[in-house]
Amino acid sequence: MNRQPVSNRVITALYERLSHDDEQQGPSNSIVNQQQLLEECAKKHNFQTIVHFTDDGWSGTRWDRPDFNRMMAEIEAGNVQNLLVKDMSRMGRDHLRVGLCLETLREKGVRLIAVADGIDTALGEDDFMPFRNILAEWYARDTSRKVKAVTRAKGNAGKPLSNLPPFGFMKDPADKNKWLVDEPAATVVRRIFQMAMEGIGPFQIARTLSQEKVEKPSYHVARQKMAGAKPAKYDMTTPHAWSTSTVCKILSKPEYAGHTVNFRTSKKSFKDKKISYNPKEEWKVFPNTHEAIIDQETFDTVQRLRGTPRRMDSVGEPNPLTGLVFCADCGAKMYNSRQSKETYETVRYGKAYTVKTADYYNCSSYNLANQSNKQKCSGHYIRTAVIRDLVLDAIRDISRYALENEADFVQKVRADSMVQQADTAKLHKKQFAQNGRRVVELDLLFRKVYEDNATGKLTDERFEQLSGTYEAEQAELKMRNAGLEDEIAAFEADSENVGRFLKLARRHRSFEELTTPMLNEFVQKILVHKPDKSSGERVQKVDIWFNFIGNFELPKAEPTPEEVAAHAKRLEKLKKQREANWRHYEKKRREKEEREQPKSA
């Protein structure tokens, strides 16, 4: 097949096109059949210098077909004398655009022959050609409408609509609507989510995978020759060139948690080739339709982390606590300040000092207030090391308490719930069902009294009295059921959340070090309060909100005599230190006054 430039010579162009819909009509539309038909026609008319232009797999509604545009360029250049097609629908299925193409052929003196339609412009214009073009467009519109109806029915039934499953899955050979885990690719997916849990951004993840020469999704799919994959469609020259957008797409797909998501995209018209993304409210998510590659908790945590901007500072990496720490008084995010990982030497007032790394958080609105000279909040200075120690201690203590006192832990989590016990929830569900049945009975009674009133068996006054009573009872029952439904839902949510936290605690067990994944899995947010110095000692309250259980507080135990004595000793030491500081500053003040007094004559 000649695909070389044909400039500077007059040719006979034979154009063939085949789309997926044409394939379903039978072998008569195949590329080979079209080529054979057109070559026979060219031979019959003694046409010389035949050149084929073929678009295989391209819809007639598309006008970015590569060989069609190459052929039109040759026509515009005056290099084409004759154009042969099987029928006018091969040219396209948009009567306006086909009409423009025909006008170009007329202007350039190109003879058009549509074999199956009996069209030959050398024999005169065909008055029915515009109608054939309209019918071709109608056919495309009708086919699009039917395909769209079938696709919507399939999508509403929970069957996946994508031709190719996401990277990490493959189609089941026995059932094309079922996905199986592609273990080599799934291992890469799990690693990507784990790196995200560790606070590594998509750009760094993509760079790491590229450096380690991990196969990118398109190359992996093409190399495995999965069902629906077309290797020629992908760039096979860069098998390890991961991009940030590829990593972001993988991290955003609920399919990896075992769900099917349909109707992500749509097109306004069958003529549109640009796909638009639908808002999430229009998606249809079918949970637990296939084996999950990562668990739901990990997926939810990664989505929360991706929504938090990670600022790079002079240290060269984001602080894992960023996005979790908030000011308890004004609600603003706490601003992290870090300078260096190493200590450094400096000279002040002629003396050498060793300065440690600056790594702390402060209220962001307080920092802005200092810059604009407008007081918006107060300082909430707290070192990162202190927050990490507090978080690690809290995770360790609560997890240990939850695992060792599971019944008490469950009861304490439900303390704020409207329903305290499972037995109460059962009674609520029973009452909910009874109320529903009574609502149905009242509908029947209302219909009966209406019929009695219509037939004269019941007076209008009596009818109004009974119907008013029934309607009032119905309204009250519906209101009660709404409240019961909320209470039941709250109880079930508490039960599920407690189980998820216990599962999380069992998975970690060892709490010797606060890792980034542990921090992201356990902690929802950290609220830092303004420091209190009223007691003479700087005391700062920090509230740690956990995923699934909120601001959980352990039962307070009575302090031991040793702890009481240690606290008293600490207060006494602090008192003596303040007294020593006061004496020191008093001494300095007196010495300064003596130096400033004039010397006696």
**Mean pLDDT of the 250-261 span:** 92
Residue 516: pLDDT over 80? yes
Q: Are residues 231 and 298 both part of a single domain?
A: yes
What is the Cα–Cα distance from 514 to 10, expressed in whole angstroms?
Answer: 76
**Mean pLDDT of the 399-422 span:** 73
**The predicted structure's pLDDT at residue 22:** 59
**The predicted structure's pLDDT at residue 415:** 66
Provide the total of helices (H) and of strands (E) in the chain, helices listed first: 18, 19
Q: Are residues 425 and 550 both part of a single domain?
A: yes
Query: Using the 8-state DSSP alphabet, how is residue 333 labeled?
Result: B
List strand residue ranges (DSSP E) for 91-207, in order: 111-114, 119-120, 169-172, 175-181
Flag whether 394 is in a domain: yes
Flag whether 323 is in a domain: no
What is the Cα–Cα distance from 365 to 356, expressed in whole angstroms?
Answer: 26
Q: Are residues 149 and 178 both part of a single domain?
A: no
- Could you tell me the CATH number of the domain that includes residue 292? 3.90.1750
Q: Across-strand partners of 17?
A: 55
Full residue range of the structural domain in which residue 579 is found? 558-587
**Mean pLDDT of the 513-519 span:** 86
- Could you tell me the CATH number of the domain that includes residue 111? 3.40.50.1390
pLDDT level of residue 20 (50, 70, 90 thresholds) = low
**Mean pLDDT of the 40-60 span:** 89
Residue with tokens 């499953």: 165
Flag whether 296 is in a domain: yes
Residue 601: pLDDT over 50? no
Q: Are residues 222 and 249 both part of a single domain?
A: yes
**The predicted structure's pLDDT at residue 255:** 92
Query: Using the 8-state DSSP alphabet, how is residue 300 labeled?
Result: H
* CA–centroid distance for 114 within its chain: 50
Q: Tally the domains of the chain.
A: 4
Flag whether 276 is in a domain: yes
Flag whether 375 is in a domain: no
SS3 for 562?
helix
Write the single-letter amino acid at 432: F
Residue 313: pLDDT over 70? no
* Buried b or exposed e, range 46-78, using 16+ CB within 10 angstroms: ebeebbbbbbeebbbbbbebebbebbbebbeee
**The predicted structure's pLDDT at residue 534:** 76
Flag whether 343 is in a domain: no
- Which of 153, 185, 211 delimits the end of a domain? 153
pLDDT level of residue 8 (50, 70, 90 thresholds) = low
Flag whether 319 is in a domain: no
Residue with tokens 């009596």: 462
Range ranked top by mean pLDDT from 269-278, 381-390, 406-415: 381-390
User: CA nearest 473: which of 498, 506, 511, 437?
Assistant: 437
Question: What's the pLDDT tens digit per position in 411-455?
Answer: 777 665 544 455 556 666 777 788 888 888 888 887 888 888 888
Please state the φ and ψ torsions of residue 53, each to the nearest 5 degrees: -125, 115
Region of poorest pLDDT, from 104-113, 486-495, 496-505: 486-495
What is the Cα–Cα distance from 256 to 258, expressed in whole angstroms?
Answer: 5
Q: Are residues 397 and 258 both part of a single domain?
A: no
**The predicted structure's pLDDT at residue 257:** 92
Residue with tokens 């073929």: 54
**Mean pLDDT of the 362-376 span:** 65
pTM over 0.85: no
User: What are 413's two structure tokens?
Assistant: 């989590």
Quote the mean pLDDT of the chain. Answer: 79
Q: Across-strand partners of 360?
A: 337, 383
Element (H, E) at 526: strand 523-528
**The predicted structure's pLDDT at residue 420:** 47
Q: Are residues 566 and 522 both part of a single domain?
A: no
**Mean pLDDT of the 294-314 span:** 75
User: What are 440's two structure tokens?
Assistant: 């149905």
Flag whether 342 is in a domain: no
* CA–centroid distance for 120 within its chain: 55
Q: Are 489 and 288 in contact (CB under 8 A)?
A: no
Residue 486: pLDDT over 70? no
Q: Are 71 and 84 in contact (CB under 8 A)?
A: no
- Which of 306, 340, 370 delimits the end of a domain? 306
What is the Cα–Cα distance from 6 to 1, expressed in whole angstroms?
Answer: 13
Q: Are residues 507 and 475 both part of a single domain?
A: yes
Phi-psi region of 549 (alpha: psi -120 to 50; beta: other; left: phi over 0): alpha
Q: Are residues 187 and 114 both part of a single domain?
A: no
**The predicted structure's pLDDT at residue 2:** 45
Q: Are residues 51 and 84 both part of a single domain?
A: yes
- Which of 110, 136, 153 delimits the end of a domain? 153
**The predicted structure's pLDDT at residue 140:** 59
Q: Are residues 263 and 285 both part of a single domain?
A: yes
Q: Are residues 173 and 148 both part of a single domain?
A: no
Q: Are 217 and 238 in contact (CB under 8 A)?
A: no
Q: Are 52 and 70 in contact (CB under 8 A)?
A: no
User: What are 229's two structure tokens?
Assistant: 């994959």
**The predicted structure's pLDDT at residue 359:** 83
Q: Are residues 390 and 424 both part of a single domain?
A: yes
